[in-house]
Amino acid sequence: MTQVSDSRREWVKLAGVGVAGLAVGYGVGFLTAPERVREVETPVEGLPGVPDEPLKIGYIYFMTGTLGTYGTNAAAAIELAVEEINRNGGILGRTIELTSKDEADRERVLDNISKMVQDEGAEFVVGLDSSGDALKVIPLVEDELQIPFIVTHAATPKLTECAKRRFIFRISMYEEPIDIMAAQLVKELYEGDVTTVANIGPDYAYGYDSWAIFSGTLQDLMPDLEFLDPIYTPLFTTDYGTYIDQIKASGADLLFSSLWGGDAATFFKQAIAKGLFDSVKVYMNAMLGATDTLEAIGNDNVPDNVDVWGSGRYWFLYPPHDVYPLNRLFVENFRGKTGAYPPYVAATSYTAIYAIKKAIESAYVMKGSWPDVDEIISALEGLTVSGPMGPVYIRPEDHQGLYDVFWGRLRRGSPTYPIPILDELVVYPPGKVVPEPLTTMVSC
């Protein structure tokens, strides 16, 4: 059962005038989403001031290697959005064409982004899985390319909260609100039941920052807890046995983790095999709500002797399909295209394309002809776009996308969902867990 915070006024206040029609509340605002919102747009041709040539959009993700599923899922969702838009006449009659590069080519990330823009004519770029890559492209985009770049996955607060960028936006929820909510849930659900907190996360900025945010927030809320030294593991670790033994010996009864993708699944299955959850009462993983990770875990590895909580930047069953048809249609169409339930990387990438469309159309209405870059940026600032995760508001002060934040309990799937699922979702509006613009708990 989904629990939704009653603090929706904060979300409406964040989103401003005009958002209330879609975002005022669960069971009310979601009902206003049209049944076939992506299929009833009227094709438009011959509008004045619209270029004849296609609009080219570039994207860059890990398309090959260990993390290649991130890119293939994102690409499938982008293609789905473009197919929908082009089928309905494109953007103001202008069709979309795509160009792409592989982020797994680590030494050429900057060169490949430049090539998409300068050689291949991309007017927008979306993507990036790696937080390190997202930070690395800032000077390139801001000082040289100067086109709208919409980050869809990378989650570091440093991208949007250490300084306002002119050309960089992020459509996906970043890590800080998710970690803050985790600490609040521990306070609400487990105060008096847990005493010692441990951490295992990836050995790079995302793992360090997630632990700093979670532990710092929780220490303020529950100062009597004991916080153990965090454990950080290399990406693509195959044997977590030593780390699991260390956590078991520590006496921790609450384990927080920011392991993700295959690492999260590998650790979880090995933790079950070694009996970690005989002593740990609560396990919270900030990236467990990814369908590819849950598929890798499998129903047979869902334990009954521990409270397992997962979160992420999108969950395919929220907003509920019966009250928010856009999410239902997205899930159905993505499954029809790929055979899989969409992970967060698919939902955020899909939404980025529609944000570009809406910004261009909004700017065109104001100008009466195709907008320039500055006019599109002005339209993106303060934009609310309907995505599978619900309405996404792009905060003008920092270009950060905001929408509901969730945590859910891990349960075995059913014949309907043959993968483990997150159930009993607890959902907070952004105003309850998102820090003020341009503020962050991590060091800039």
CATH number at residue 220: 3.40.50.2300
pLDDT number for residue 201:
96
My answer on whether 85 and 187 are in the same domain is no
**374: in domain:** yes
What is the rounded distance in angstroms from the CA atom of residue 138 to the CA atom of residue 115? 16
> What is the longest distance spanned by two Cα atoms in the chain?
71
My answer on whether 206 and 102 are in the same domain is no
My answer on whether 296 and 324 are in the same domain is no
Give pLDDT tens digits for 234-271.
988 999 999 999 999 999 999 999 999 889 999 999 99
pLDDT number for residue 3:
53
Give pLDDT tens digits for 27-39.
333 433 443 445 4
My answer on whether 281 and 239 are in the same domain is yes
pLDDT number for residue 415:
86
**11: in domain:** no
At 444 the three-state DSSP class reads coil
My answer on whether 281 and 199 are in the same domain is yes
DSSP for residue 387: E
CB 68 within 8 A of CB 107: no
Give pLDDT tens digits for 190-223.
999 999 999 999 998 889 999 999 999 999 999 9
**253: in domain:** yes
List, as one string, the DSSP characters of 88-147: TTTBTTBPEEEEEEETT-GGGHHHHHHIIIIIT--SEEEE---HHHHHHTHHIIIIII-S
My answer on whether 142 and 271 are in the same domain is no
pLDDT number for residue 277:
96
**415: in domain:** yes
My answer on whether 226 and 107 are in the same domain is no
**8: in domain:** no
Q: Residue 429: which of 1, 13, 57 has the closest Cα?
A: 13
Using alpha carbons, list the distances in angstroms from residue 65 to 1, 69, 79, 120: 37, 8, 21, 25
Domain extent, residue 287, equals 176-312+407-433
Number of structural domains in the chain: 2
pLDDT number for residue 257:
98
My answer on whether 427 and 387 are in the same domain is no
My answer on whether 61 and 76 are in the same domain is yes
Q: How confident is the model at residue 322 (pLDDT cuts 50, 70, 90)?
A: very high
Which tokens in the block code for residue 231? 């454990």
Which tokens in the block code for residue 330? 């997205």
Q: How confident is the model at residue 20 (pLDDT cuts 50, 70, 90)?
A: very low
CB 241 within 8 A of CB 274: yes
My answer on whether 56 and 183 are in the same domain is no
